[in-house]
Structure 1
Amino acid sequence: MEITLIRHTSVDVEPGICYGQSDVGVSVEFEKEANAVRSKLREQTFDCIYSSPLSRCLKLADYCGYSNPVIDKRLMEIDFGAWEMKRWSDIKDPQLQRWFDDWLAEKPTRGESFNDMIRRVDKFISEIERHSYQKVAIFTHAGVIRAACIINKQFSAAEAFNYKVNYGDCIKIII
């Protein structure tokens, strides 16, 4: 099965803000960025379209002509819990340093670890593998894209943040 992982366009959030699963809006560059994504997908057909429930993904899916994707919460970005919508430099939680030291296993306060996210993405991929799909598109987030690549053994979890995922990227993996 070929999976095209599509990262949402840039967001209307000040740099340095932790926004993970917060439902933030898209930037003023949305139409320009979305046109670029739509042109990448133009000649492709998919057996099924999935999306994170967050509006930044749903808006891009709709703009690209997929107004009714299958929505799945497992495609949401990592949950930063109590840190959501806070400036990273303003987070005084002692858990922050533990998380920086071991972001794979440590959880943000009331959030999830990167390993937790990998497990939920793995469950999602295992579920869609049971279908007879040849090609699937997924509108999602950088963390989920990295998790899918880890599951697909393109790199290890420890190498995940060395793998750049830009806004509007369309990344294909074969499962």
Structure 2
Amino acid sequence: MSTEIYLIRHTTPDVEKGTCYGQADLDVTESFLSEAARIKEHLPAHIQNVYSSPLQRCSKLAQHLFPSHSISFHDELKEINCGEWELKKWDDLPKEVVMPWMNDFVNVRIPGGESYLDLLARTTAIFEKIVAQKEHAAIVSHGGVLRSILSHLTNTALIESFNVFKLQYGCVVKLSLKDDQFIHEILHNIQSTSEQHKPSFK
């Protein structure tokens, strides 16, 4: 059997819509168990190792889905660092402050935080280490992290990644290694909650 890696996004976080969040350690909503049950339906029994962001919206899911595994937690699998904007309302951020990032979020860093390129660099580095183990693995992480990995594997321009990879809370993406290349298959991706990750004026 070829190497398989399952990318799993955390369930719905307990945060008000319109709030900017990245590495804030948000809890999950009361729909956690039902969302996790739907995720579990798409996971095989042969997963050997599990890697997760240490933030609780991921760690809780990883431990729930894989109770018999020893979970490996890695800071590199955290969501993008939103720096000074963390937990502020998108629409409360001054337009002159947020627009440079909105116009070029790939290269421009959030004040006190990261750019999309920063996120890509650390997530692809840990991903390549996981791939090198040649094992069947699961990665429980965040939308930005999973989108970065998929962009890396498909040579998708980062600026286009949000349109190309519409990853909902609780999504499951299967990666299969064939002829030294990963192919991806979206197994589960149901929109249950609308998201807002930018100001409403943009």
TM-score normalised according to structure 2 size = 0.81
- Pair 1:51 & 2:52 matched: yes
- Pair 1:36 & 2:69 matched: no
Unaligned runs of 5+ residues in structure 2 are 177-181, 183-202
Shift of 1:155: 2.5
1:67-86 to 2 correspondences below 5 Å: 68-86=70-88
Aligned length: 173
Q: Tell me the equivalent position of 1:101.
A: 103
Matched AA of 1:45? H
Tell me, what secondary structure is at the counterpart of 2:154? coil
Matched AA of 2:61? L
1:50-102 alpha-carbon deviations (Å, 9 max, x no partner): 00000000111111134631001110111110000000001127331000000
1:10-21 to 2 correspondences below 5 Å: 10-21=12-23
Shift of 1:49: 0.5
1:38–1:154 CA distance, 2 compared to 1 (3 A): farther
Q: Give the distance between the partners of 2:161 and 2:129, measured in 1 at CA.
A: 23
1:65–1:127 CA distance, 2 compared to 1 (3 A): closer
TM-score normalised according to structure 1 size = 0.93
Q: Give the distance between the partners of 2:151 and 2:66, measured in 1 at CA.
A: 29
Matched AA of 1:62? Q
Shift of 1:119: 0.5
Unaligned runs of 5+ residues in structure 1 are none
Cα RMSD of the aligned pairs, angstroms, is 1.4
Task: Give the 4+ runs in structure 1 shifted more than 4 A.
Answer: none
Q: Tell me the equivalent position of 2:173.
A: 171
1:125-171 alpha-carbon deviations (Å, 9 max, x no partner): 222233232x1100000001100001101632121110210111001
Identity %: 35
1:50–1:118 CA distance, 2 compared to 1 (3 A): same
